[in-house]
Amino acid sequence: MLSWAGARCGLIAFPKDTSPTDIIIICFGVVLEIPGVAGVGVLVALLLPAVMQTRGSARRTLCANNLHNLGVAYQHHIGKIGRGMSAFDWRQSILPELEDKEEFLLCPDDPRQTMYDVDDFTVYIVNNRRSIPLEPGPWCWIGDSDFCQQFADVQVTNPDAYFIGFEDLRYNTPFDGIVLVEPLAEGGAKLTHVGGHPHAYRHQLKGPTGELLANPFDKGFTWEVHGADSSYGGNSRMGKFQTDGKKILLLEYMKPVANVVGSNAVGAIGFYDNVAPRHDGMLNVLYVDGRVEPTTPQAVDPTDPLIHDSKWCPDIDMQLRMYY
């Protein structure tokens, strides 16, 4: 009954000749006087749906603004480097363009509010007292999978996994240590020390607040980073984009990379497990040309061949029919 009244009431009044807490509601000419605290409760019940709807709309708009800013940062970054961007480190590439403000990576409707990311963790070189963040830098870089595989005694089955190599520069070796990063479906990632060049230096792994997690940080040690790397997933083929303004760049997704492009893309099979329609069944999508549009998961389903080719697959792959 309250919903019915809230939808059709034209006036809520507080007449002078009633108690300060009395409320008179006029619905289609019918006068309802509700006295005291009960009247306040009715008023709250009538207004709450509208308030919640307004808040939901504000969160949806903030999410769209996040994607808009990520799109501007993307265009600025590729304008500087003159080529496409790797999907597997798109966050590390884009954030410097946004003054490293990680809040742009998090949708306010994403329940995974912890923003601990892999690059919040550091390898501490005990012998020379050097801290190396697990992000691209002077002593750490995203390792080429084929090259790292030579030093890492592990079989990688997760298509979204990647290697991070770190080097303390004391010895002129390719990697002193190699970390395998495997994104988790629920957000975060699993870090595993999988090998490297053995020498007398001792390594430790430290967490986001400097807490000691592994001493020593040696081959075989595993640690899970929980929380959202990002509320958005990047098109796994974004590095191939050239004249692809109508193709999807980022969308609301449970993994940092949407590995859904190509006939062999295993991510396409689990698309509906990872796509994140957080706004009343809708999700925001950022296109290469900078547009941000709300849509349904069905409208961007990469298992539909027409949608796959028109919204996901780079033009160069379409021309060469080279699917990965």
22-63 tens-digit pLDDT:
555 545 445 555 565 555 566 556 655 655 556 678 899 999
pLDDT at residue 69 tops 50: yes
122-141 pLDDT tens trace: 899 888 888 888 887 778 87
> What pLDDT does residue 74 have?
93
pTM equals 0.56
d(CA 229, CA 94): 14
Token readout for 256 is 């940092």
> What pLDDT does residue 117 have?
67
Among the listed ranges 6-10, 235-239, 272-276, which one has the minimum average pLDDT value? 6-10
Burial class of residue 162 in the structure, from the number of CB atoms within 10 Å of its CB (0-12 exposed, 13-18 middle, 19+ buried):
buried
Please report, as a single letter, which amino acid is at residue 132. Answer: I
User: For strand 292-295 and strand 212-214, is the pairing parallel, antiparallel, or unpaired?
Assistant: unpaired
